[in-house]
Amino acid sequence: MSGAFEGRAESSSPTAANCEELLQQGAIAHPDPDISGAGVVLAFILSAYITFFMVLVVYLGGLVDSTLLRPVDRQIFHIQPYSPSRRRPQLHASVRKAVLALSDQQIVTGIAIMGAGFQGLRTGSISVYHFQIVLYLAWMSSSVHLSAITLLGTYLQEHRGIMIWRLCGMSILLVMLIIGLVPTISNDWGIFWWNGMVDGRTGWAIPAKCFWGKLWGDGVGPDAPLGFIILAISYIWKVGGLFSITSTAYNRWVRSPLETLLVLLLKVPATHSDSDLHPRLWLWLFRLILGIALPLFVILECVSSFAASLWISLTGLLFGTIQVLVPRTQMQPLTGSLENTWGFGQLVPLILLIQPLGAIMEHVWTKDQSGLHRQDTNHTRDDAATSSFANPFELDTGANGKSSLIQLISGRSPISSFSIRDKKQEMKALLFSSKLFATLVWLVQAAVVTICVVVFYFDAETIGNQRSNNWEFILEAIAAFAIFGFLMTVVLSPFSRTGKL
């Protein structure tokens, strides 16, 4: 092996010949506690999870602004919106202050650590292992901001200055993360050991620069797009929700046309189910179409809920955590105890986590002077910006309490409307009073849990060894949900208002 890499990787920039040799024999691992030390890793992960669980507790505790909650949150999950008359405004403001402090701290450190990683990538001084740690620690910082946006959507909309500079920071970090993911697409990235490797060496210790623009003949890893997709969905979902124009465009060009198409498809058999010509045949045709339409309605409602934002945040956190902790565990025998030694560089990041606690105490003990104690005057604001249906809480559900879905769609209900838009509103009120609809909503949550458990389990088991082909598990789980949802709807709809005459 070339002497250039007998010592630390920082000694020189790798050449193509060096990289080719290292990809055959591996490289010697060296610890770097400033990147992968226990305190550094723990500080990033703790701040991300503290923020997420703070948002989760706020959600379950009824401290989320009413404009951020959707019908699924209120009617199915029974989450109460925040109301100053029922909840302590000072606690509400303190939580906001703490989340803001955490997100402010992490956006700066995330950009800083990615900047340091790019410098090491440019000079060839950072290994695959340490660049992986840098990349996904910055991912943790990104997750903190996405969790914060989930909770602070209304507040940021009302404080444009605060929102703009945070969006600038998030945009910079997003670009850096996308660029940082580029070398990870190689099938040879992050392999702990392979046949022919010299004892005491590892693929994790190869300079990360060797993979910049190089696939080395083994192609792109099958799981490589997963990181890009999770990142893109997370940012589009959270940042897009801050602007009414994106919600309006989604509803106008995606959701509303799809819902209208489903209603029109259901209307044909619903209308003929009361005719003299094969009424039972038309009824079962309606139920078969409903087996496709109802799960789609459920998914459309679920993706607009606050709970969906929590799932997106948790998925990103778990993915990033696995990408950090599994390689670090694999490298412990080769890097020794230095990365677990608690020195100055390990303690400072953890001590800085006290800052949000100080923000909470400051807010609890002082009167609000910054406008954070916002009285929720929008408690009954229409949810039409994010849902093409009207708010079911504003509908007179008592009038159609005994009407079935077929009667509403076909026009045989005494309150049925000729307008497609009004018809969809009436349908929504009926669906949210249906146990079958609620069951399908919970089935979606179970499907998400199942996908996460299976994908992340195999991901953790295969990191450093082989590609896990997560796409197969994801597609199989989606297919299983579609089949199970279809069968459940067809079988149970005759006993529900959704499928009765």
Give the 3-state DSSP-derived string for 236-299, with helices as H, strands as E and coil as C: HHHHHCCCHHHHHHHHHHHHHHHHHHHHHHHHHHHHHCCCCCCHHHHHHHHHHHHHHHHHHHHH
Rounded to whole angstroms, the Cα distance separating 79 from 309 reads 15
Q: Is the pLDDT of residue 152 over 90?
A: no
Q: Residue 421 phi/psi, 5° resolution?
A: -65, -45
Rounded to whole angstroms, the Cα distance separating 362 from 385 reads 36
Q: Is the pLDDT of residue 217 over 80?
A: no
3-state SS of 167-228?
Answer: HHHHHHHHHHHHHHHHHHHECCCCCCCCCCCCCCEEHHHCEHHHHCCCCCCCCECCCHHHHH
Tell me which residue has tokens 């179970």. Answer: 446
pLDDT value at residue 367: 54
Whether 442 contacts 308, CB under 8 Å:
no
pLDDT value at residue 115: 94
Q: Is the pLDDT of residue 392 over 70?
A: no
For residues 418 and 214, which has the higher predicted lDDT (pLDDT)? 214
pLDDT value at residue 7: 40
pLDDT value at residue 294: 94
Q: Is the pLDDT of residue 14 over 50?
A: yes
Tell me which residue has tokens 């045989």. Answer: 412
Q: Is the pLDDT of residue 421 over 80?
A: no
Whether 173 contacts 114, CB under 8 Å:
yes
Helix (H, G, I), strand (E, B) or coil at 12: coil
Please, is 375 exposed, middle or buried when counting C-beta atoms within 10 Å of its C-beta (0-12, 13-18, 19+)? exposed
**Average pLDDT of the residues of the chain:** 81
pLDDT value at residue 10: 43
Rounded to whole angstroms, the Cα distance separating 80 from 426 reads 23
pLDDT value at residue 419: 64
For residues 421 and 69, which has the higher predicted lDDT (pLDDT)? 69
Assign 401 a pLDDT band (cuts: 50, 70, 90): low
375 is written with which tokens? 């009285």
Longest CA span, the chain: 89
Structural domain spans, the chain: 3-388+434-495
pLDDT value at residue 101: 80
Question: What secondary structure does DSSP assign to 95-136, as a single string?
Answer: HHHHHHHHHHHHHHHHHHHHHHHHHHHHHT-SBHHHHHHHHH
Tell me which residue has tokens 């505790």. Answer: 61
pLDDT (tens digit per residue) in 163-215: 888 889 989 999 999 999 999 988 888 888 877 778 889 999 999 999 988 87
pTM as predicted = 0.85
Show the CA angle centred on residue 172, arms to residues 171 and 174, nearest 5°: 60
pLDDT value at residue 441: 97
Rounded to whole angstroms, the Cα distance separating 406 from 500 reads 7
- pLDDT > 70: percent of the chain: 84
Lowest mean pLDDT among 161-165, 199-203, 333-337, 355-359: 355-359
Tell me which residue has tokens 């149970």. Answer: 492
Lowest mean pLDDT among 4-8, 134-138, 333-337, 446-450: 4-8
Whether 498 contacts 405, CB under 8 Å:
yes
Assign 137 a pLDDT band (cuts: 50, 70, 90): very high
Residue 330, Cβ neighbours under 10 Å: how many? 19
Query: What b-and-e string marks burial along 337-372, b requiring 16 or more CB atoms within 10 Å of the CB?
Result: eebbeeeeebeebbeebeebeebbeebeeeeeeeeb
Q: Is the pLDDT of residue 383 over 80?
A: no
Assign 385 a pLDDT band (cuts: 50, 70, 90): very low
For residues 9 and 251, which has the higher predicted lDDT (pLDDT)? 251
Say if strands 27-28 and 201-202 run parallel, antiparallel, or are unpaired.
Answer: antiparallel
Rounded to whole angstroms, the Cα distance separating 43 from 144 reads 12
What is the mean pLDDT of the segment spanning 385-397?
39
Backbone φ/ψ region at 412: left (φ over 0), alpha (ψ -120 to 50), beta: alpha
Rounded to whole angstroms, the Cα distance separating 116 from 476 reads 40
Rounded to whole angstroms, the Cα distance separating 487 from 492 reads 8
Helix (H, G, I), strand (E, B) or coil at 27: strand
Distance from chain centroid for Cα 41: 21
- 390, 391, 394, 407 from 400: Cα distances, Å: 16, 16, 14, 10
What is the mean pLDDT of the segment spanning 444-470?
85
